[in-house]
Amino acid sequence: MKTPNLKLITTEDGSHSLYREDLNETYHSFRGAEGESLQVFIKEGLDAQLSKTNQRSITVFEVGFGTGLNAFLAAKYASQHQVQVHYHSVEPYPVPKEIYEQFNFGKSEEENSLVQALHAGAWEEPVTISAYLELVKYQCTLEEFDGEVRADVVFYDAFAPSKQAEVWALDNLKKCFEMLVSGGVLVTYCAQGQFKRNLAAAGFEVETLPGAMGKKEMVRGLKL
């Protein structure tokens, strides 16, 4: 699969993101890529689940590795809180090296090496990124994914339903539901009505939370 044309952009909080020309869509909120990822995926996903369960080891499954920003922030969180994170991510279109080597997510040389390691590491096999994070990237779509992951948290970070409705289809949500342990959650920035109805139809308890970076709402789905 050839990666479509991508442009490096800077969002309003200073963090980089990407713009995909064929879809006329950005990878994050233009108000702030880092701010959005931190609130939706790290705070309301990873941190909320660890606080709820007191686990010291957690498995994340991400839909859309993209810039690797969520994985990077999860790696930082894991080191700061000394919890083991097993991070699985699917991505049909890996970001080319000439783009990812420019990412400004790292605030130090050490953090920048972490960002680069997340991208440069092998696909389809576990890669030790740090003492606290192991990463497995799969080059495929969620629809194609047939791995055996038991996830505590799903980061559902696909392009908006208005751009890629098929990725938000009921079958994909059911697949994530099946992958989750009982008590596990799916988090996403999206709060579209049809998506919430699909989430409920897939078996989730749907919770609407305040959104990130000026967005009214985001969603967390719980598997009871």
Ligand X SMILES: C[S@@+](CC[C@H](N)C(=O)[O-])C[C@H]1O[C@@H](n2cnc3c(N)ncnc32)[C@H](O)[C@@H]1O
Q: What are the φ and ψ backbone dihedral angles of 218, each rounded to 5 degrees?
A: -135, 175
Instruction: Work out the angle between the directed axes of helices 109-120 and 69-81 (0-180°, nearest 10).
Output: 120
Task: Output the six-digit token pair for 224.
Answer: 């009871």
Task: Using the minimum distance from each CB to ligand X, give the nearer residue, 58 or 71.
Answer: 71
* Alpha carbon distance 144, 20 (integer Å): 22
Residue 185 bridge partners (DSSP): 153, 222
User: Using an 8 Å Cβ cutoff, are 224 and 182 in contact?
Assistant: yes
Run of H or E including 50: helix 48-53
Number of residues assigned to the chain: 224
* Nearer to ligand X among residue 44 and residue 91 (C-beta): 91
User: Which positions lie near ligand X, rule CB under 6 A?
Assistant: 27, 37, 63-67, 69-70, 90-93, 141-143, 157-159, 164, 167
Cβ proximity to ligand X: between 58 and 167 the closer is: 167
Residues linked to residue 18 through DSSP beta bridges, in sequence order: 8
Separation CA 213–CA 147 (nearest Å): 34
Cα 187–Cα 135–Cα 17 angle in degrees, nearest 5: 60
Looking at residue 24, what DSSP letter applies? Answer: T
Q: How far apart are CA 27 and CA 34, in angstroms?
A: 11
